Amino acid sequence: MSADDFLPIRGWDHVEFYVGNAKQAAHFYDKVFGFRPIAKLGLETGCRDRASYVLEQGKIRFVLTSALTPDHEITRHGAVHGDGVKVIALEVEDCEAALRAVKQRNATILQPAQVFEDEYGTIKTGIIKYAGDTVFKFVERAHYRGPFAPGYQPIQARGSTPVGLAAIDHVVTNVHLGEMNYWASWFERVMGFTQLTHFTDKDISTEYSALMSKVMEDGKKIKLPINEPAEGKRKSQIDEYLEWFCGPGVQHIAMSTADICQTVRLLRERDIDFLRVPETYYDDLEARIGKIDEDYADIRELGILVDRDEDGYLLQIFTQPMQDRPTLFFEVIERHGSRGFGVGNFKALFVALEHEQARRGNL
């Protein structure tokens, strides 16, 4: 830990989704995405107001939570936003020190440090406000050896075959026009992050719509891009998200894999729909990108995108939204040196996204 690192982060701890039916959502992420259920909180464990299922694959941990009563924060969140991400949880070395550090830098503390204990040890957590109704949770779990957290009971479930998802690569937030710079500055001031890259509306646009993006990182593992819409002739994908999510929030979660072709094949077999770029994208792809380890015929067949920068190349693909509202979706990414985000694919992606928006009547 360097002397100027006032907020040492050990990595992603988990992402918590507020959903309408946690049991059904857990079944979906198990059977379709290959996440293994490991723990549950609910009536059986003594919790009377909510149910939560914890699922893992590789180093990724998702928590799916729904309310058991009508007059509940989670119920209200679902009525406004639909299913979506509520909590981005980061593992920290010292929860109390982390909260003190961000409070000194004017973070809004929603939950001071609390200690939770059971026979497996102790966990400390604290919560600060982020964009819209989304929050960051700091989790100190070095002294906990249980399946997830006190109050949760282990689930003895075999789970479906994993699809090869290994870790969270980045988590993207959409904000209103004019708010991107505020949140980028907030990350610098409050969290000690730095700006990795900045995409303007010239980088990400078509004839009809555009967006702007800044990617903030902690210098190690955590990357948090922030998107805002740009002025255009029609609504951008960010405008559509903000309209249907009813405010800022997490647009997509990118998950890494060591074999994107195999992962995508398995997900297609389980009926996951992916965004498809125009076929013309592949006509000169090999000439633009050069030699890669993968077969270009497989890349084209599966609809995978490829981009190269000075550090290497990456492969990526995006799912359709996970719910009827055109809000949260996922990205599958495989990196071969590249630290970028596929800037060479932005044009083709925007065309594909606009096609889907038009199909939904939202362009």
| Fold adopted by 165-360 | 2,3-Dihydroxybiphenyl 1,2-Dioxygenase; domain 1 (3.10.180)
Contact between 362 and 229 under an 8 Å Cβ cutoff? The reply is no
Report how far residue 261's alpha carbon sits from residue 306's, in angstroms, rounded to the nearest whole number: 12
Q: Check residue 320 and give its pLDDT.
A: 95
Burial degree of 53 (CB within 10 A; 0-12, 13-18, 19+)? buried
279 DSSP 8-state letter: G
CA atoms within 13 A on the CB side of 124: 13
Q: What is the dihedral of CA 131, 132, 134, 135, to 10 degrees?
A: 60
Span 9-154 CATH architecture? Roll (3.10)
Residues 68-82 have a mean pLDDT of 97
Contact between 313 and 336 under an 8 Å Cβ cutoff? The reply is yes
Contact between 323 and 82 under an 8 Å Cβ cutoff? The reply is yes
Share of the chain above pLDDT 90, in %: 79
Same CATH fold assignment for domains 9-154 and 165-360: yes
> 164 φ, ψ to 5°?
100, 10
Q: What confidence category does residue 350 fall into, taking pLDDT thresholds of 50, 70 and 90?
A: low
Residues 57-69 have a mean pLDDT of 98
Q: What is the dihedral of CA 111, 115, 118, 119, to 10 degrees?
A: 150
Is the pLDDT at 363 greater than 80, yes or no? no
160 DSSP 8-state letter: P
Tokens of 334: 């495989």
Q: CB neighbours (10 Å) of residue 161?
A: 11
Residues 110-137 have a mean pLDDT of 97
Q: Which of 252, 254, 206 has its CA nearest to residue 227?
A: 252
Q: Which residue ranges make up each domain of the chain? A: 9-154, 165-360
The lowest-confidence range among 68-82, 113-127, 152-166 is: 152-166
CA atoms within 13 A on the CB side of 221: 14
pTM of the entire predicted model: 0.94
Note the Cα 333 to chain centre separation in Å.
12
Contact between 318 and 330 under an 8 Å Cβ cutoff? The reply is yes
Q: Which of 146, 165, 152, 169 has its CA nearest to residue 56?
A: 165
Crossing angle (nearest 10°) for helices 237-245 and 346-360: 50
Is the pLDDT at 1 greater than 80, yes or no? no
Q: What is the dihedral of CA 329, 216, 138, 86, to 10 degrees?
A: -30
Q: Check residue 204 and give its pLDDT.
A: 58
Contact between 361 and 282 under an 8 Å Cβ cutoff? The reply is no
